[in-house]
Structure formats: structure tokens, C-alpha cells
Amino acid sequence: MNHPGEAARGTGMILRLLGLFALVAAVVVVTSTAAHACDCADLTPAAAKEHAEVVFTGTVVEVRRDGTQGLGPPTPAVYTFRADNVYKGAPAAGFTVSSNVDTASCGYPFQQGTRYLVFARSDTSELIEKVPGVTLASSLCAGNVPIDQGTGPLRPGDERTPGHESLAGPVDAEMVTALGAPVRVAESASSGARTGTSAAARGLGWGWIAAGSAVVVLALAVGFALVRRRRAGGG
């Protein structure tokens, strides 16, 4: 017959081990997140345009955020833009672009009602998780710039917030020259918004999996310890 004191000591040891396991899982999550913090290379305006598939100015008219995927990181946000000038790519009245929701994972925080110079592409090197039906994505590293309201082509000084940090640089003469002449989007254009893509840093997934596993193991072990305690007390 098991002595109640032995059962209690066994339960205490199990709980200490589970606490250690949970601590290790937490460290894995933090380390994984830090390792995948956003690290962007500097861009010239010409390089920003070259790397993008689509470059346009437009205003955010809709923002969609679907939350998280179980224990994983938040799903990318989807932004719908009303375009006014297209500097690269097929002209369209609107574009739909996805981006991660936080800057640590290189997401760009587009704000509804704000006009931007946007650099977007379909291949984001697995930086942003793909969103079904959205083929374009942008990131903090793309060189996006918030600009003054309006519908005309960009001119030097049109930056909405002077001194705003943009990897492609401010809206100055160099930027305007690199962009070239845009195609004006007719307000009566009936073409639908071109869709955009997204992809959350996949390395973060392993950290969340470890944390989820710790929770499951903890629950099972606590249940097992309680059963042993009841059996010891009944004996």
C-alpha cells in the first residue's frame, strides 16, 4: 500500500517538473519571436520600385483582421485601397494587400482613411502567410510612405508626416524621379480591386507549438497526479 506522504512527494515532484517544462516552452517562444524580429535592408527609391510588382498611391478604405489561428500568431490583416495613381503594374481602381499585424514580424500598420505610396508584390519570401484570395502583400521593409490626401501625382514634399521613417526615403525629388510618370486611375473605372497576399514568419510557429504542447502535457500530468492521490488516500 502506498503511503499518503509518498504520494504527496510524488505529486510535488511531478508539478515541479511540469513547471520547469512550462518555463522551457516559454523561453522557446520568446527566443523564436526575438530571432524573427523584423530586420530590413535600406532601400533607394529606385530599388524599392524595382523590387515591387505593383507601386501605387491610394487610400485605405477597408481593413480586415481575422484574429489568431488557434495557438499560432495572428493572421495577416487585409487592406483594401482605392487607388488614384499607378506607378508600376496594371492600372486598377483598387488593390487588396495583406500584411502582418505587428511590426515585429515586419507588418506595415496601414491606417484606414490614410493615403499611402504602396510598394507591393506577390512573393514575400515566406515573410507573410498567404491569405486565400489575396495575391499582393507588403511589409515594413517595402518602403511604404504615408502621403498627403489628394488624387494627383506625387510631388516633392507630399509626405504626410515629415521625417516619417521609410526605408525608401522621403517623398523628395529623387523619389519622384525614380517613380516616373504614373497612370491616372479614372474615378469611373469599374475594374475590381486586385487582390493581395500575406505570410507570417514560419519560424514563430515552432514556438507556439511548444507552448501548446506544454499546456496539454501539464493538464494530463495534473490529472494523473490527482488520480494517484485519490488512490493513495483510498488505500
Give the single-character DSSP code of 99: E
Q: What pLDDT score does 195 carry?
A: 55
Same domain, 9 and 104: no
d(CA 228, CA 205): 35
Same domain, 191 and 213: no
Same domain, 60 and 141: yes
Same domain, 161 and 224: no
Which strand (E) or helix (H) includes residue 79? strand 77-88
Q: Please state whether the predicted TM-score (pTM) of the whole model is above 0.85.
A: no
d(CA 166, CA 80): 21
Backbone angles phi, psi at 47, to 5 degrees: -70, -40
Opening angle at CA 201, ends 65 and 51, nearest 5: 90
Same domain, 224 and 180: no
Same domain, 174 and 193: yes
Q: What pLDDT score does 23 carry?
A: 47
Q: What pLDDT score does 38 carry?
A: 84
Q: Name residue 235's amino acid.
A: G
Same domain, 196 and 208: no
d(CA 63, CA 111): 8
d(CA 210, CA 116): 39
Same domain, 111 and 154: yes
Q: Which domain holds residue 210?
A: 4-36+204-234
Which CATH number is 194's domain given?
A: 2.40.50.120
Q: What pLDDT score does 80 carry?
A: 98
Give the single-character DSSP code of 152: S
Same domain, 58 and 84: yes
Number of H-type helices and E-type strands within the chain: 4, 7
d(CA 54, CA 165): 21
Residues 6+ apart with CB under 8 A from 104: 33, 36, 37, 38
- Compute the half-sphere exposure of residue 105: CA atoms within 13 Å on the CB side of its CA: 26
Same domain, 196 and 110: yes
Query: Which pLDDT tens digits describe the chain residue by residue (235 residues)?
Result: 555 566 556 666 666 665 554 443 443 333 333 335 788 888 899 999 999 999 999 999 999 987 665 566 678 999 999 999 999 999 999 999 999 988 888 999 999 999 999 999 997 656 788 888 999 999 999 999 999 999 999 999 998 766 555 777 789 999 999 999 999 997 545 445 665 433 333 344 434 444 555 544 455 655 566 656 666 666 5
Opening angle at CA 79, ends 73 and 83, nearest 5: 155
Q: What pLDDT score does 84 carry?
A: 98
- 224-235 exposure pattern, b = at least 16 Cβ within 10 A, e = fewer: ebeebbeebeee
Domains: count for the chain? 2
Same domain, 126 and 210: no
Same domain, 28 and 144: no
Residues 6+ apart with CB under 8 A from 165: none
